[in-house]
A and B are shown apart, each in its own frame.
Chain A
Amino acid sequence: MPILIRMPEENIKAVAGKRIRLNVQIEHPRTRWKNIKLMIKYNELFCQQPVERSITEPNDVGFSVIADEITIPEVPPTEQRLGEIIVESNGDTRSEYLPKIKIVSLEGYFEESVAQRLRELGFEANRWGGPSNPDVEAFHPDQPSQKYQVEATTEKKYDLDKYWKDTGKFRDMKEKFQFKRLLIVTLADLKDICPGVTKRLKRASDPFSLITYRDLQKLATKYTQIEISKYEVLAVLLQTGIIPVD
């Protein structure tokens, strides 16, 4: 009996400590069968014991569910396959690789999340990372010349020191990457932004904007739920200074 195994093809980004839950739904064959054996072998990086389960009897619903959970270990950033799944029944065997896991630091994960939110807002967003690169490069297809350098920061408080670093990076890179605007996305709340930063951001001559991650998420949700149009999104993100989202 030919065996089909289907699963999502995406690469999964994860930080250390992230839980990955495998939910395997096995439909019982319609013809006679004695035994269905399932094995999950994990990549040795994850230090997880392999899983072996046997289904020997049919049930009323005609399928069985086998679940297993794995926690991403504390390892340097890397990209690896999670492992392999093997199904055996009536002499037939089929195996498939599990999806790839890209293990990143918390800062890297945050940068990816920011890029993902911008994509949800209709932007083309590309995460670079590293000290000599922008965190994220983004532009909207309707305004391709308005390229954004996006700096994602996980600091608990956004102070002047960080502000000078980010704006300095923009001045260094704007010629090379042809950036027109700087968008700072901070994990900190508005109350944790230093007043000196707020004062400097009010200068309308600089093409600098700051938005909290929570507000960026809110904006993305409004857009995906069609509460606002893409023109409103562009108008919001073109504002200089601190961008509030209601």
Chain B
Amino acid sequence: MNNEEFLAEARSARVIDIAVRFTGVRPRIDEEAQQIVHIKQMQVERIYYAGDLRVDDFGKILQFMKERSTDYSTREQLLRLLEPNLRRLTGRVPFDTISRRYSRNILRVMKALELLDTECNMTIVGDRLLRYYINDKEKYHDYLSQLLLDRGGWVAILTVVEDIWKGRIYVYGRQALMETLKERLVEKKYIRGIWSPNSIIDNLVSLGLMKQWDSILKTHEVNWEKVYDILRRKVFL
């Protein structure tokens, strides 16, 4: 190799490749949460609930079942054990005064949430929820929220409330909203039997999935940030 050859090589073109990309715009959290809920709602066949069951009632009933686990081995035995103790467990007169029916509905809901299996034995999910109920109330509420939204079909309630508000249907007060909500849920065949929509909305508010009644907007706004948090971010072990 001589000087001229080396110089020619030294002067040869050096290519610098530059890539320019436009990254996608990340949708807002509320939009993303609405999309997730909309997709989940398409798979909902019915909403699982019982009477005026409250958020802490699940924990209390699971705890009762754990304490009396040696006293029953079949579903019938559990029902007979639960009926007389419901008022004491929940601390109030139940909305559904027929305690047998109420107990059966409670067990149906717990089975739908996979807290119990077909033999009414506590599953891993039930065990985990009970553990949170005893040790960490915040985690208990978050986990219960996830179960109710994912398995209980409660995503449908969020979408129906959102539709009522977006559809500009005139709602003069909270009670009117509850009635409209119940009509819509029955119309879509999401609910059957004895219901207290007030109670279900109260539960959603106490879980943080909905905001308090807004007397100006005339609705309970969905807290989409919390919904996104529960459905996408939270992990329960």
> Which residues of A pack against B, CB within 8 Å?
1-8, 12, 14-15, 17-31, 33, 38, 69, 82, 85, 87, 89, 98-99, 106, 109-110, 113, 154, 156, 187-189, 212-214
Contact = CB atoms under 8 A, between A and B. Distances in A.
Contacts of B25: 1-2, 31
A19 B16 contact: no
Contacts of B7: 15, 17, 106
B14 A20 contact: yes
Contact of B18 (A7, A31, A69, A213): A7
B18 to A, nearest CB: 4
A154 B10 CA distance: 13
A25 B12 CA distance: 22
Given A7-B16, A21-B15, A22-B16, A109 B22 contact: no
Contacts of B10: 14-15, 18, 106, 109, 113
B16 A25 contact: no
A24 B15 CA distance: 10
A14 B7 CA distance: 11
Contact of B16 (A87, A98, A109): A98
Given A4-B19, A15-B10, A30-B22, 15 more contacts: A2-B22, A3-B21, A4-B23, A7-B16, A19-B14, A21-B13, A24-B20, A29-B22, A31-B24, A106-B7, A187-B6, A188-B2, A189-B1, A189-B2, A214-B1
A33 B20 CA distance: 15
A10 to B, nearest CB: 9
B1 to A, nearest CB: 5
Interface in B96-146: none
Contacts of B15: 21, 23
B88 interface: no
B92 interface: no
A15 B3 contact: no
Contacts of B187: none
A156 B22 contact: no
B11 interface: yes
B67 interface: no
A17 B16 contact: no
A2 B13 CA distance: 32
B11 A18 contact: yes
A4 B3 contact: no
Given A187-B6, A189-B2, A17 B18 contact: no
Contacts of A23: 15-18
Interface of B: 1-3, 6-7, 10-25
B183 to A, nearest CB: 40
A23 B18 CA distance: 6
Contacts of B22: 1-4, 27-30, 33, 89
A104 to B, nearest CB: 10
A14 B14 contact: yes
Contacts of A106: 3, 6-7, 10
B6 to A, nearest CB: 6
Contacts of A113: 10
B20 A25 contact: yes
A213 B5 CA distance: 12
A7 B14 contact: no
A124 B10 CA distance: 23
19 contacts: A1-B23, A2-B22, A3-B23, A5-B18, A6-B18, A14-B14, A19-B13, A23-B16, A24-B20, A25-B17, A25-B18, A25-B20, A30-B24, A31-B24, A31-B25, A85-B18, A99-B16, A106-B6, A113-B10
A216 B66 CA distance: 80
Which 10 interchain pairs have the tightest Cβ spacing? A29-B22, A19-B13, A26-B20, A4-B21, A7-B18, A24-B18, A214-B1, A6-B19, A17-B11, A2-B23
A154 B21 contact: no
A6 B21 contact: yes
